[in-house]
Amino acid sequence: MLNTAIIAPQNEISDSITKNWTEQAIECYKLNGNCSLCSIKQGHYSFACQMPRVVEALKLLNGEPKIDD
The 10s digit of each residue's pLDDT in 12-67 is 778 888 899 999 999 999 999 888 888 876 666 667 788 999 999 999 999 999 88
φ, ψ of residue 54 to 5 degrees: the values are -65, -45
Cα distance between residue 10 and residue 15, in whole Å: 13
Whether the CB-CB separation of 61 and 25 falls below 8 Å is answered with no
The count of structural domains within the chain is 1
Residue 26 lies in a domain: yes
Residue 22 lies in a domain: yes
In terms of residue numbers, what domain contains 35?
17-62
Residue 68 lies in a domain: no
pTM: 0.72
**pLDDT-derived band at 8, boundaries 50, 70, 90:** very low
**pLDDT-derived band at 68, boundaries 50, 70, 90:** confident
DSSP sequence for 38-49: -HHHHTT-SS--
Sequence-distant (≥ 6) Cβ neighbours of residue 41 within 8 angstroms: 35, 49
